[in-house]
A and B are shown apart, each in its own frame.
Chain A
């Protein structure tokens, strides 16, 4: 017989006396914290989009939704997201097949390299591409004009297609990683039987392999879609100058132009509702598609799939893969580093123009060290708090299972579906003095609160998965062996999920370190984050300085990633 594990909730009464019930306390704490962190900001957005000073006022919302600039932004958002999804999926599937199924050389190295775009902040990439192919001053553009005597700039990255290109180069790993792992877990006999039945290699790929990994493809594709819909960095860097807006950048612009006034924020809230509706539609689509096509052919254990011989195509395809890697990983990186050494932006990239002065300037400026410190502080704090809070929510949902656990689960996953820009507006509306006089605006705490909401679902997911592995009888055995409920948690459950908690921390810490979308709307004079600092340096035209700080940021990210990989590897040995 199966029993829910929540019955331990009834254990507290001793000799008729009711003791303080830990399970109930945890459940209540969970609800309260989620209410504060997640629900209030979201409610504030909806409220302020439709109400003004306590009265229903739909005019503003209608006005915003029907304004041509906003409609255009919405159209751009959809166009970019759909294009990026299609192209990113094709690219992801192609390289997944190449690395997962063909006999292409240097696979291990290439796989590692293909994951780099995943940890690299896209807005830094956008900066690099802007330096190269800006429609007016891009270095490579200028060079091409000189070389071929062209009249105009050959490539203009400040366009919808430019944005799509940069997003694709950072988002295709979503599909790539999903599909590679599906391909590796696929039972090779399925393909072999098709060959034996007389199908040609090409037919096997189209009729057997691709349909079988379809769930993995659509999962990755929809991840690209939702991420791109909500994305701020790339369109803001590439589109701003040419007046190409997407909904997230439009929201930023509206608030920025209004100088942070309440009206501006309300307009932002109205646009946020629009954006959330679009993202929600995409997520519903995702659920539909993911629940529809599920084949039970992918086995949990890994098998050695038969590799397809590329024969004559081997070298060209290998070169293509290398070229892709160079283009999307190495070139932007080199560009940023080169620019960071320039005396002034626009000077030719020649050795005589190189200097270390930009680094000196960046680090002697007040904001920089502060921004690194701020980023470290919010990222680590958010990581630690989310690690515990996410685990608490996961424990309540998985083990205590109170009434309304479904609500709890949905609330904690909600911010996952809500774009960072939107979340910031909610946080501003909630915590700038309107509720209980709490005003966190312009302090580091408002950024922290936003990060908590944004990243909570990350740690909750990992802890949840780990808790599912901890059978309730392990905790019960401890109870029967004489441990109190608290002791059984401390002695058994927590040690068993500790690795998951730690990786949950890093899952939050790493992206939070390079975060720009949320903090760009929340920072105050003394609370810039690293991402915001780079963004504002560039915005102020100090591009070489921005590049210098970006180089430092990339260095920090690479070092942190290496440490994390080392740590996670070491732990596996225990």
Chain B
């Protein structure tokens, strides 16, 4: 078990600063998902951790080992860092059999033949690939190659496993299976797993802790999935994790209104800074409930039944908003039909300064 500390990491690619004094501590023995939009610098961070690129400033520590320190001029080469990695494109060596692929890290550690075979087979067992030991990668499906890559990362028993978008290329069902498997592997090994993805859905499914990175490469929130969903640190997190509706607020002579193409009086208690206008109200689709007594009236454009919930598109003023109604809520309050006008009430509202250049629904 080992924690990972990124401290003050800066990395520039030419004149383009990818990471600017980035710091993050990954707790020991947890699955931590690093989530962020494509191009935000997640992969750069991983490459710095692996020793494939050298940051300009800062330090990287895994457990009690300093892997990189710009000030003390420490830079442990990639091959000595002892980190298990599953690359996005698997990087399974096409000219080696599955067993050779998985044995390779042990071979480089100069282990005995007997031990190498034993441990490699054990790693293959863990990903349920033993019967393919003598296959070449081109005889395997994408999911199977993925497992080989995972086995290869597992085989050295390192304290830290890094997975960079390991399941993006798999189909939905296999993705689900692999997530469960990663969770089981972590339970068995107790290793720290740093899981990189831009897909918040799989992150939510897998992680103990989540780190959200913004487009500009800064860390915007670190916490459990629950904290992040329930208490998003800022608008970015709120918008990035899950679906959201935004309604712009405007201060007019007749009072505070929602600017939804037409002014609609705002019936809510609004924090003082937001009451001056120039703010937006953010609300999740499942935090909007039907309430005939509410003064906010909206028309139902469409209703789709999704098995466990109803998904509505409503028009408020001239703005479309999305509403999710759980089965339980539908039983107790009843559903709304297309074309009906309903009263709606917002729960768990948040207020964020409006973004320049308009808002998104």
Q: Which A residues are within 8 Å of any B CB, using their own CB?
A: 1, 3, 7-8, 10-16, 471, 473-474, 476-484, 487, 491-492, 495-496
State A7–B12 Cα separation when bound (angstroms). Answer: 12
Q: Are A477 and B72 in contact (CB under 8 A)?
A: no
Chain B residue contacts of A471, Cβ below 8 A: 89, 91
Q: Are B78 and A492 in contact (CB under 8 A)?
A: no
Chain A residue contacts of B95, Cβ below 8 A: 495-496
Q: Are A11 and B54 in contact (CB under 8 A)?
A: yes
State A480–B156 Cα separation when bound (angstroms). Answer: 11
Q: Kindly state whether residue B183 has any CB partner on chain A within 8 Å.
A: no
What string of 1s and 0s marks CB contacts (under 8 Å) between B85-109 and chain A?
A: 1011101011100000000110011
Q: Are A492 and B52 in contact (CB under 8 A)?
A: no
Q: Are B91 and A474 in contact (CB under 8 A)?
A: yes
Chain B residues 173-188 with CB under 8 Å of chain A are: none
Given contacts A8-B52, A476-B52, A479-B78, contact A3 B108 (CB under 8 A): no
Q: Kindly state whether residue B77 has any CB partner on chain A within 8 Å.
A: yes
Q: Kindly state whether residue B314 has any CB partner on chain A within 8 Å.
A: no
CB closest residue in chain A, given B104: A481
Q: Are A477 and B87 in contact (CB under 8 A)?
A: yes
Given contacts A15-B75, A477-B85, A482-B105, could you give 9 more A-B pairs where the C-beta distance is less than 8 Å? Answer: A7-B54, A15-B73, A477-B87, A478-B93, A480-B79, A481-B108, A483-B104, A483-B108, A495-B95
Q: Are B87 and A3 in contact (CB under 8 A)?
A: no
Chain B residue contacts of A479, Cβ below 8 A: 50-52, 77-79
Q: Are A10 and B54 in contact (CB under 8 A)?
A: yes
Chain B residue contacts of A482, Cβ below 8 A: 79-80, 82, 105, 108-109, 156
- Out of B38, B50, B76, name the residue touching A476 (CB < 8 Å): B50
| Shortest distance from the beta carbon of A156 to any chain B beta carbon, whole Å | 58
Q: Are B52 and A11 in contact (CB under 8 A)?
A: yes
CB closest residue in chain A, given B149: A477
Chain A residue contacts of B47, Cβ below 8 A: 3, 7
| Shortest distance from the beta carbon of B170 to any chain A beta carbon, whole Å | 18
Q: Kindly state whether residue B39 has any CB partner on chain A within 8 Å.
A: yes
- Inter-chain contact count A-B, CB under 8 Å? 101
Q: Are B91 and A3 in contact (CB under 8 A)?
A: no
Q: Are A480 and B93 in contact (CB under 8 A)?
A: no
Chain B residue contacts of A481, Cβ below 8 A: 79, 104-105, 108, 152, 156
Q: Kindly state whether residue B43 has any CB partner on chain A within 8 Å.
A: yes
Q: Are B89 and A480 in contact (CB under 8 A)?
A: no
Q: Are B72 and A16 in contact (CB under 8 A)?
A: yes
Q: Are B93 and A474 in contact (CB under 8 A)?
A: yes
Chain B residue contacts of A477, Cβ below 8 A: 85, 87, 91, 93, 152
State A477–B153 Cα separation when bound (angstroms). Answer: 10
Chain A residue contacts of B109, Cβ below 8 A: 482
Given contacts A1-B38, A480-B81, contact A492 B93 (CB under 8 A): yes
Q: Are A15 and B74 in contact (CB under 8 A)?
A: yes
CB closest residue in chain A, given B39: A1
Given contacts A3-B13, A482-B105, contact A13 B93 (CB under 8 A): no
| Shortest distance from the beta carbon of A361 to any chain B beta carbon, whole Å | 51
Q: Are A1 and B43 in contact (CB under 8 A)?
A: yes
Chain B residues 31-46 with CB under 8 Å of chain A are: 38-39, 41, 43-44
| Shortest distance from the beta carbon of B137 to any chain A beta carbon, whole Å | 11
Chain A residue contacts of B108, Cβ below 8 A: 481-483, 487
Q: Kindly state whether residue B53 has any CB partner on chain A within 8 Å.
A: yes
Q: Are A484 and B93 in contact (CB under 8 A)?
A: no
- Interface bracket on B: 35 or more
Q: Are A7 and B75 in contact (CB under 8 A)?
A: no
State A471–B75 Cα separation when bound (angstroms). Answer: 25
Q: Are B75 and A480 in contact (CB under 8 A)?
A: no
Q: Are A1 and B79 in contact (CB under 8 A)?
A: no
Q: Are A473 and B89 in contact (CB under 8 A)?
A: yes
Q: Kindly state whether residue B9 has any CB partner on chain A within 8 Å.
A: no
Chain A residue contacts of B53, Cβ below 8 A: 3, 7, 10
Q: Are A1 and B44 in contact (CB under 8 A)?
A: yes
CB closest residue in chain B, given A475: B91
Q: Are A496 and B85 in contact (CB under 8 A)?
A: no
Q: Are B79 and A483 in contact (CB under 8 A)?
A: yes
CB closest residue in chain B, given A19: B77
Q: Kindly state whether residue B83 has any CB partner on chain A within 8 Å.
A: yes
State A228–B104 Cα separation when bound (angstroms). Answer: 52
Chain B residue contacts of A16, Cβ below 8 A: 72-75
Give the 8 A-B residue pairs with the shortest CB-CB distance, closest first.
A482-B108, A16-B73, A477-B91, A481-B105, A479-B78, A473-B91, A10-B54, A7-B53
Chain B residues 5-51 with CB under 8 Å of chain A are: 13, 18, 38-39, 41, 43-44, 47, 50-51
Chain A residue contacts of B13, Cβ below 8 A: 3
What string of 1s and 0s marks CB contacts (under 8 Å) between B43-73 and chain A?
A: 1100100111110000000000000000011
Chain A residue contacts of B156, Cβ below 8 A: 481-482
State A471–B137 Cα separation when bound (angstroms). Answer: 15
Q: Are A473 and B87 in contact (CB under 8 A)?
A: yes
Given contacts A1-B43, A11-B51, contact A480 B73 (CB under 8 A): no
- Out of A8, A15, A491, name the residue touching B76 (CB < 8 Å): A15
| Shortest distance from the beta carbon of A163 to any chain B beta carbon, whole Å | 48
Chain B residue contacts of A13, Cβ below 8 A: 54, 73, 75
Q: Are B78 and A14 in contact (CB under 8 A)?
A: no
| Shortest distance from the beta carbon of B306 to any chain A beta carbon, whole Å | 34
| Shortest distance from the beta carbon of B333 to any chain A beta carbon, whole Å | 46
Chain A residue contacts of B93, Cβ below 8 A: 474, 477-478, 492, 496
State A478–B82 Cα separation when bound (angstroms). Answer: 12
State A479–B73 Cα separation when bound (angstroms). Answer: 21
Chain B residue contacts of A8, Cβ below 8 A: 52
State A481–B39 Cα separation when bound (angstroms). Answer: 26
| Shortest distance from the beta carbon of A481 to any chain B beta carbon, whole Å | 4
State A479–B50 Cα separation when bound (angstroms). Answer: 9
Given contacts A3-B47, A473-B91, A476-B50, contact A14 B75 (CB under 8 A): yes
* Most interface-central of A1, A12, A481, A482 (chain B CB within 10 A): A481
Chain A residue contacts of B79, Cβ below 8 A: 479-484, 487
State A518–B28 Cα separation when bound (angstroms). Answer: 68
Q: Are A476 and B54 in contact (CB under 8 A)?
A: no
Chain A residue contacts of B43, Cβ below 8 A: 1, 3
CB closest residue in chain B, given A496: B95
Chain A residue contacts of B78, Cβ below 8 A: 11, 476, 479-480
State A10–B94 Cα separation when bound (angstroms). Answer: 27
State A33–B91 Cα separation when bound (angstroms). Answer: 33
State A398–B78 Cα separation when bound (angstroms). Answer: 21
State A487–B107 Cα separation when bound (angstroms). Answer: 11
Chain B residue contacts of A473, Cβ below 8 A: 87-89, 91
| Shortest distance from the beta carbon of A88 to any chain B beta carbon, whole Å | 40
State A294–B156 Cα separation when bound (angstroms). Answer: 50
State A10–B79 Cα separation when bound (angstroms). Answer: 14
State A16–B68 Cα separation when bound (angstroms). Answer: 10
Chain B residue contacts of A474, Cβ below 8 A: 91, 93-94
CB closest residue in chain B, given A495: B95
Q: Are B52 and A14 in contact (CB under 8 A)?
A: no
| Shortest distance from the beta carbon of B215 to any chain A beta carbon, whole Å | 12
| Shortest distance from the beta carbon of B157 to any chain A beta carbon, whole Å | 13
State A201–B13 Cα separation when bound (angstroms). Answer: 56
Q: Are B77 and A11 in contact (CB under 8 A)?
A: yes
| Shortest distance from the beta carbon of A23 to any chain B beta carbon, whole Å | 13
Given contacts A1-B39, A491-B104, contact A476 B77 (CB under 8 A): no
Chain B residue contacts of A7, Cβ below 8 A: 47, 52-54
Chain B residue contacts of A483, Cβ below 8 A: 79, 104, 108
Q: Are B77 and A480 in contact (CB under 8 A)?
A: no
Given contacts A477-B85, A480-B85, contact A12 B77 (CB under 8 A): yes
State A468–B105 Cα separation when bound (angstroms). Answer: 25
Chain A residue contacts of B52, Cβ below 8 A: 7-8, 11, 476, 479-480
| Shortest distance from the beta carbon of A110 to any chain B beta carbon, whole Å | 34
State A474–B41 Cα separation when bound (angstroms). Answer: 21
State A265–B81 Cα separation when bound (angstroms). Answer: 60
Chain A residue contacts of B152, Cβ below 8 A: 477, 481
| Shortest distance from the beta carbon of A460 to any chain B beta carbon, whole Å | 22
Q: Are A476 and B91 in contact (CB under 8 A)?
A: yes
